[in-house]
A = this chain, B = another copy of it.
Amino acid sequence: MTISNLTVRDNMLVVTWTDESCTQFPPIWLRDNCPSGLHPDTQERLLDLLSVEEEPILTAANQDGDVAVLAYEDGHVSQMPISLMNAHRPGQRAFDAAKQPEIFWRADLGAEGIPRHAATPILADDEALQSWMQETAKYGLAIVHDVEDHVGAGVELAERIGFLRKTNFGTTFEVINKPDPNNLAYTSIALPLHTDLPNQEVPPGYQFLHCLANEATGGGSIFADGFAMAGDLRNEDPEAFRLLCETPIPFRFHDKDADIRVHHPVIDLAADGSLREIRYNAHIAAIFDMPADIMPAFYKAYRAYMAKTRDPKYRLTLKLKAGEMVVFDNRRVLHGREAFDPSTGFRHLHGCYVDRGEFFSRLRLLSPSQD
């Protein structure tokens, strides 16, 4: 995009672009981002902002090829790249390769609709890594197949993205169920849909569950898109949605080694109103403590979301095979497990997390179009 006109009006630089859109740039912003005060490679800010007047006066603005030449009353002259001004128009967020358009899904996606990627190319090739990560970001869910048959193989794939998130449960975790009557009651029960560790200030981002064995009868994995359920609730019952966005509830995990608590709403929105996070885990939701006058309405809203997690419309079931690894955004996609019969066979999953920060960072580094 290039400039068709630039002018100074009421001490604002007014730029009209060739598509006839128009942008106002305050002089203090122009001085703060003058290339003479930015590191040429990293754009790290070197200028001391307090060395500039609070309201610099722009006296002249002229285009000279790729730059706008800006003259100030105090004698400073900036060579302002037009590309920088175009990429950073006030009120508009700069391009970010980490922001993938989300595709909400429901049960009708079908297990066959889940993005599938082979392990070997991901390990060897940055394009395959990027493609897998982009689809995982869009759906919040993907399967990697042909993962090698050892405990470190899933971790190796996760570490292609970034380092692992450590929690009070360690850096990796095992879900093992041997045919052993002593453990039967504990290991065979169904796990309702939930997100992991909503009691953390920031719950783990992407979760990796590598299946090494799944020979027992039952034991299917269940997933539901928490954003799709929240989006539908937003349409069906805006007041319930609002309460789930605005009412912090207590979450707590407590054992002899940890007592980790947070207050947070079930649904978290980004500044632009888009969905950012779901925290839903009925077992570690602690005793609600909102004021009594909103409590009955909050419970109705909470139950409405809970009912969606039971609704077959949203629940996608698949049985992981040995050599498959499921990857999902733990802050968006709820996961659970069907009951199974541990006397019928061995079941072994190996899990770990990589946080959104590391995931997004890798997506940016893999995108050559990034500045």
Chain A interface (Cβ within 8 Å of chain B)? 12, 23-26, 28-29, 32-33, 42-46, 48-50, 54-55, 84, 88-94, 96, 98, 163, 166, 168, 200-202, 248, 250, 252, 254-263, 271, 282-292, 295-296, 299-300, 302-303, 306-307, 310, 355-358, 360-361, 364-365, 370
Residues of B within 8 A of A261 (CB): 96, 98, 360, 364
CA distance A46 to B285 in the complex (A): 11
On whether A284 and B44 interact (CB within 8 A), knowing A166-B166, A303-B54, the answer reads: yes
- What distance in Å separates the Cβ of A297 from its nearest Cβ neighbour in chain B? 10
Residues of B within 8 A of A303 (CB): 49-50, 54
25 A-B residue pairs with CB within 8 Å: A42-B254, A43-B254, A43-B287, A45-B284, A50-B303, A50-B307, A54-B299, A54-B300, A84-B287, A88-B287, A90-B295, A91-B290, A94-B250, A168-B361, A201-B356, A201-B357, A202-B202, A248-B271, A258-B361, A259-B365, A259-B370, A260-B360, A260-B361, A262-B357, A263-B271
CA distance A360 to B261 in the complex (A): 9
- What distance in Å separates the Cβ of A237 from its nearest Cβ neighbour in chain B? 13
**Contact yes or no, B45 A282, CB < 8 A:** yes
**Contact yes or no, A310 B91, CB < 8 A:** no
Residues of B within 8 A of A260 (CB): 357, 360-361
Which among A84, A286, A357, A360 has the highest number of chain B CB atoms within 10 Å?
A: A357
Residues of B within 8 A of A250 (CB): 93-94
Candidates B24, B29, B166, B292; contact of A90 at CB < 8 Å: B292
Residues of B within 8 A of A96 (CB): 261
**Contact yes or no, A90 B49, CB < 8 A:** no
Residues of B within 8 A of A357 (CB): 200-201, 260, 262
Q: A28-B295, A42-B255, A54-B299 are in contact. List 19 more A-B contacts (CB 8 A).
A: A29-B288, A32-B288, A43-B252, A43-B287, A48-B282, A49-B303, A49-B306, A50-B307, A54-B300, A88-B287, A89-B289, A90-B292, A92-B289, A94-B287, A94-B289, A96-B261, A166-B166, A201-B357, A263-B271
On whether A289 and B23 interact (CB within 8 A), knowing A42-B255, A284-B44, the answer reads: no
- 9 cross-chain pairs, A with B, having the tightest CB-CB distances, nearest first: A91-B291, A259-B364, A90-B292, A24-B292, A28-B299, A88-B287, A26-B295, A260-B361, A258-B361
CA distance A360 to B26 in the complex (A): 43
Residues of B within 8 A of A370 (CB): 259
In chain B, what residue has the closest Cβ to A295?
A: B26
- What distance in Å separates the Cβ of A364 from its nearest Cβ neighbour in chain B? 4
- What distance in Å separates the Cβ of A280 from its nearest Cβ neighbour in chain B? 12
Residues of B within 8 A of A258 (CB): 361, 365
In chain B, what residue has the closest Cβ to A261?
A: B96
CA distance A98 to B199 in the complex (A): 15
Residues of B within 8 A of A255 (CB): 42
Residues of B within 8 A of A360 (CB): 260-261
